[in-house]
């Protein structure tokens, strides 16, 4: 049973309106997960623009650097050697690469591309990933997917969500058959995004706040093979220290949230949703956790 701070939102119908979303990752602009998420969010009615690294930049955290001309081909031969530092897909201008880090890429999307594709408006929301592999606990300090999301939330003031998935490997956008996990993760990410938007007027998250969302493993042909089989659980990023860490928001009969690692590693099909401060990548306090708990309403369940 779920015990939110205020249960009224759980009674509201899900009616997310279309918003402007900037999308990035650290696995590269041609990796299939970011393209699947683009398709899913677009089908849900949102206006989405991808601004992601030309290459796999996993593990680069919050690094930032001046983009340079490509000396070799983009990942999966998605652009040739000698291509400019910034570029886009020839047939889909909303697919953009930046030959630099994830933070640099999303910064370009926010500061340059948004004005073109969003009629001069800033993005309403930033999403990153789904990352190939989980980003749990201390891993958030090194993840470029997280670095891009926290840049958006802290420096640019845009609500942000970093998505990561336990299943998968680096896969090109043009693979003959889209992996099941990539489809499931895109659907789950869209489901949470829509619920967050439907939970109330903008801004969709408090200032300096991002969500770290980790999807459990997808098993093709077994359990956890569809998005409907997964449950979302409010969690914390870092392990609480006895007698030191303040209480979390009260929910599910406790004032201590499970860690996202405990959620993802549990038997069953789970998604961890942690509320972090973008300035230091640590957990937000109980009050801020409570705001997210209310916004997500009945999407959340107990572990």
For position 125, which CATH number holds?
Answer: 3.40.1210.10
| CB atoms inside a 10 Å sphere around CB 34 | 29
Number of domains in the chain: 1
Q: Is the pLDDT of residue 9 over 50?
A: no
Give a yes or no: residue 53 inside a domain.
Answer: yes
Give a yes or no: residue 249 inside a domain.
Answer: yes
pTM to 2 decimal places: 0.94
* Confidence band of 220 (pLDDT split at 50, 70, 90): confident
Give a yes or no: residue 83 inside a domain.
Answer: yes
Q: Is the pLDDT of residue 3 over 90?
A: no
Cis status, amide bond into 130, omega within 30 of 0: yes
Give a yes or no: residue 108 inside a domain.
Answer: yes
Give a yes or no: residue 260 inside a domain.
Answer: yes
The helix or strand, by DSSP H or E, that contains position 163, with its residue range, turns out to be strand 160-165
Domain that holds residue 54: 20-301
Residue 25 to residue 201: CA distance in whole angstroms: 26
Give a yes or no: residue 15 inside a domain.
Answer: no
Give a yes or no: residue 151 inside a domain.
Answer: yes
CA atoms within 13 A on the CB side of 300: 30
pLDDT digits (tens, 9 = 90+) for 49-102: 999 999 999 999 999 999 999 999 999 999 999 999 999 999 999 999 999 999
Give a yes or no: residue 254 inside a domain.
Answer: yes
Q: What is the DSSP string of 210-224?
A: EEEEEE----TTSSS
């Amino acid at each position: 049973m779920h015990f939110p701070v205020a249960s009224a939102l759980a009674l509201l119908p899900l009616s997310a309106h279309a918003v402007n979303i900037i999308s990035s990752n650290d696995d590269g602009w041609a990796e299939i997960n970011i393209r699947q998420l683009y398709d899913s969010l677009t089908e849900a009615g949102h206006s989405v623009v991808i601004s992601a690294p030309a290459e796999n930049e996993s593990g680069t955290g919050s690094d930032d650097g001046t983009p340079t001309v490509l000396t070799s081909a983009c990942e999966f031969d998605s652009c040739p050697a000698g291509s400019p530092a910034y570029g886009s897909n020839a047939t889909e201008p909303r697919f953009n690469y930046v030959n630099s880090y994830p933070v640099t890429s999303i910064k370009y999307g926010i500061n340059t591309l948004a004005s073109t594709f969003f009629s001069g408006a800033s993005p309403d929301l930033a999403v990153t990933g789904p990352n190939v592999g989980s980003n749990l606990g201390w891993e958030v300090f090194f993840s470029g997917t997280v670095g891009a999301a926290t840049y958006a939330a802290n420096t640019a003031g845009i609500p942000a969500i970093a998505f990561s998935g336990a299943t998968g490997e680096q896969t090109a956008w043009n693979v003959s058959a889209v992996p099941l996990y990539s489809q499931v993760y895109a659907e789950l990410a869209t489901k949470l995004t829509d619920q967050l938007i439907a939970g109330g007027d903008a801004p969709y998250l408090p200032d300096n706040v991002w969500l770290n969302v980790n999807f459990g493993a997808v098993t093709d042909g077994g359990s956890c093979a569809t998005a409907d089989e997964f449950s979302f659980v409010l969690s914390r990023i870092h392990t609480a220290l006895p007698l030191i860490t303040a209480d979390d928001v009260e929910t599910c009969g406790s004032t201590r949230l499970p860690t996202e690692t405990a959620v993802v590693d549990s038997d069953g099909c789970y998604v961890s949703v942690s509320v972090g401060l973008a300035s230091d990548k640590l957990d937000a306090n109980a009050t801020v956790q409570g705001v997210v708990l209310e916004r997500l309403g009945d999407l959340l369940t107990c572990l």
